[in-house]
Amino acid sequence: MNEMTSIAAQPAYSDAVKKALAREPALFIDGEWVASTHDKRIAVYDPSTGKQIASVVDASDADVDKAVAAARRAFDDGRWTGLPPYQRQRLIEKLADLLEAATAEMAEIESIDNGKPRAASQGYDIPRSVQTLRYAAGWATRMSGEQVDPAGMPTGTVHAYIRREPVGVAAQIVPWNFPLMMAVQKIAPALAAGCTLVLKPAEQTPLSALRFADLVAEAGLPAGVVNIVTGLGETAGDRLVRHPDVDKVAFTGSTEVGKIINRAATDTLKRVTLELGGKSPVIVLPDVDVARTARGAAMSIFMNSGQVCIAGSRLFAHRDIFDSLIEAVAANAAGWKVGPSLAPDTMMGPLVSDEQHARVLGYIEAGRKEGASVVCGGDTPGGDGWFVNPTILVDVKPEMKVVREEIFGPVLAAQRYDDLDDVAKAANDTTYGLAATIWTRDVSAMHQLAAKLKAGMVWGNAPALADVALPFGGYKQSGFGRESGRYGVEAYTELKTVAIAL
Ligand code: NAD
């Protein structure tokens, strides 16, 4: 135990969660729990204590092949696509009901696996996953093709229509920052579209996906429609991506791995959607309510300890309000109580892993060396877990690492600007293009700036206005394809043109 720590002890786990942690490591394939073909395991840690709490299977090639074969059979024999859409809708809704009923246990699992405050997993991650399932369920009965009249053929001589068909077997690979939410954001639309799937959670946070598999079985989805395989990215993940019986890969994670996956999927020309990293700007015009904007800017970067792809990690504040805004964001940061995930007053948990902890502190150090000044944070509050204090850096320059690279931690890099055209250019000066937030009461400036920003999502006067009905995804190296909304379901479909001479 670190002597200087201001960090409280992690409260005891509930009996239900202790039972879940003690389970024999297994994979969920073809509707049942099966043992791996080998005895390789992955250790799972509680980031609040740094202690191992469970181990899961590190899937072998044979395990992955078995899961893909189950998904392939379940797709090809029509046990899922062949169901009346309304029945598929009801089964997805049943899954939502079961997840909702299990909210408390799921939230605890998520918090001890990822480190996020229980209030966040219970108030956001799990309810949002339930909402995603219910929203996607409705699309099962609403997706359909269209009839089109050909342009170059005499009217009435050719009957042409476009069918929208499920793409087939999906391999879904998700990261550790919102483990269940990211998994459900992929599972729900795939099911609504009529696909079958193999999901691989991140090695750091596999526990909620495994518990979710119990609910899949309980909901009565046909065997093999949802398969969940734990394992390392370079082995199990890679096997999935290259597998000839997989038709589509949906990936959320780092840009670096997204590129590897895109290359690996090329040999078989799989459909690929990628939700990758970001370095999202938050632009503040001089007319704002400083206190409210500061709360929003703090939320943009400190939520989930900054381990958010859409984190507002680059703040651009107009020169006239820069100092007062930074002062207000720093005051707000002081209220983000850092602590273990299950403590009721914790607002910011630890980072997910030892490695991520070292990485984030390394970035702060690099920023200092390059000349940035630390307004607050920049250090760890101690404790055995992987904690970092909320950090604000000023005196940063566009070429610094802390401005250019995704830190994925609670580190804000703040810059001044004078002119709206210049700030749009500065905000776009990045290889990423995921999200952007604009704060102003000037409606014209808001829309003009929104049009200039090269980002998949632009939000105004509030942080992170992501919604299950609104497309989510990025420009440039933040990926391609969209999740959520109609587009998210369509991403699991192929178009087939049928034209018949009458
Ligand atoms: P990561 O890319 O290291 O890992 C993500 C997943 O990919 C894990 O399941 C991992 O096992 C798997 N993987 C790793 N190498 C692989 C390979 N060669 N083949 C197949 N699978 C492989 O990312 P991470 O560190 O877990 O997550 C953090 C990153 O995710 C950040 O960069 C963040 O911005 C990004 N992210 C993006 C979004 C989004 O929607 N755009 C959402 C959340 C996180």
Q: How far apart are the first and last CA of the chain?
A: 80
Mean pLDDT of 95-102: 98
Statement: the pTM of the whole predicted model exceeds 0.75: yes
Residue spans of beta strands (DSSP E) within 184-311 = 196-200, 226-228, 248-252, 271-275, 280-284
The answer to whether residue 1 scores a pLDDT higher than 60 is no
Mean pLDDT of 273-297: 98
pLDDT > 70: percent of the chain: 99
The answer to whether residue 221 scores a pLDDT higher than 60 is yes
What is the Å distance from ligand 1's center to 433 Cα? 17
Give the nearest ligand 1 atom to 241 CA: 20
The conformational region for residue 15 under phi > 0 = left, psi -120 to 50 = alpha, else beta, is: alpha
Give the mutation target among 185, 254, 354, 405 for probing the ligand 1 site: most ligand atoms within 8 A of CB. 254
Catalytic residue, candidates 108, 195, 203, 309: 309
3-state secondary structure 325-365: HHHHHHHHHHCCCECCCCCCCCCECCCCCHHHHHHHHHHHH
The first and second tokens of residue 320, run together, are: 């006239």
Give the other-Cβ count within 10 Å of 112's Cβ.
28
Mean pLDDT of 54-62: 98
Indicate the angle between helix axes 207-219 and 179-193, nearest 10 degrees. Answer: 30
The answer to whether residue 382 scores a pLDDT higher than 70 is yes
Are residues 369 and 397 in contact, defined by beta-carbon separation less than 8 angstroms?
no
Average pLDDT, the chain: 97
- 31-49 per-position pLDDT tens digit: 999 999 999 999 999 999 9
The protein residue whose alpha carbon is closest to atom 8 in ligand 1 is: 202
What is the Å distance from ligand 1's center to 251 Cα? 7
- 259-274 per-position pLDDT tens digit: 999 999 999 999 999 9
At a CB cut-off of 8 Å and minimum separation 6, what does 35 contact? Answer: 24, 26, 27
The protein residue whose alpha carbon is closest to atom 43 in ligand 1 is: 309
Give the other-Cβ count within 10 Å of 390's Cβ.
26
Are residues 215 and 135 in contact, defined by beta-carbon separation less than 8 angstroms?
no
What is the Å distance from ligand 1's center to 199 Cα? 13
Give the mutation target among 210, 235, 257 for probing the ligand 1 site: most ligand atoms within 8 A of CB. 257
At a CB cut-off of 8 Å and minimum separation 6, what does 336 contact? Answer: 298, 302, 347, 348, 390, 410
The answer to whether residue 3 scores a pLDDT higher than 50 is no
Are residues 413 and 430 in contact, defined by beta-carbon separation less than 8 angstroms?
no
Residue 208 confidence (pLDDT): 98
Mean pLDDT of 289-315: 98
- What distance in Å separates the CA atoms of residue 186 and residue 204, rounded to the nearest whole number? 19
309 carries an active-site annotation? yes
The answer to whether residue 87 scores a pLDDT higher than 60 is yes
What is the Å distance from ligand 1's center to 254 Cα? 4
Residue 4 confidence (pLDDT): 57
What is the Å distance from ligand 1's center to 148 Cα? 40
Q: How many residues does the chain have?
A: 502
The protein residue whose alpha carbon is closest to atom 16 in ligand 1 is: 233
CB-count burial class (<10 Å; 0-12, 13-18, 19+) for 269:
exposed
Q: Is the dihedral of CA 255, 403, 346, 465 positive or negative?
A: negative
pLDDT band at 5; cut points 50, 70, 90: low
Q: Provide the greatest CA pair distance for the chain.
A: 85
- What distance in Å separates the CA atoms of residue 429 and residue 35, rounded to the nearest whole number? 49
Using the structure block, give the residue that is written with the tokens 């079958």.
196
Q: CB within 6 Å of ligand 1 — which residues?
A: 173-177, 200, 202-203, 233-234, 237-238, 241, 252-254, 257, 260-261, 275-278, 309, 406, 408, 434, 474, 479
Are residues 236 and 200 in contact, defined by beta-carbon separation less than 8 angstroms?
yes
- 465-474 per-position pLDDT tens digit: 999 999 999 9
Amino acid at 219: A
Amino acid at 133: L
The first and second tokens of residue 81, run together, are: 């696509």
Among candidates 490, 362, 56, which has minimal Cα distance to 232? 56
The protein residue whose alpha carbon is closest to atom 40 in ligand 1 is: 275
What is the Å distance from ligand 1's center to 274 Cα? 10
What is the Å distance from ligand 1's center to 295 Cα? 29
Q: What share of the chain is helix, strand, coil (3-state, %, to 5)?
A: 40, 20, 40
The answer to whether residue 123 scores a pLDDT higher than 80 is yes
Give the nearest ligand 1 atom to 202 CA: 9
The protein residue whose alpha carbon is closest to atom 19 in ligand 1 is: 238
The protein residue whose alpha carbon is closest to atom 10 in ligand 1 is: 233
CB-count burial class (<10 Å; 0-12, 13-18, 19+) for 223:
middle
Residue 6 confidence (pLDDT): 80
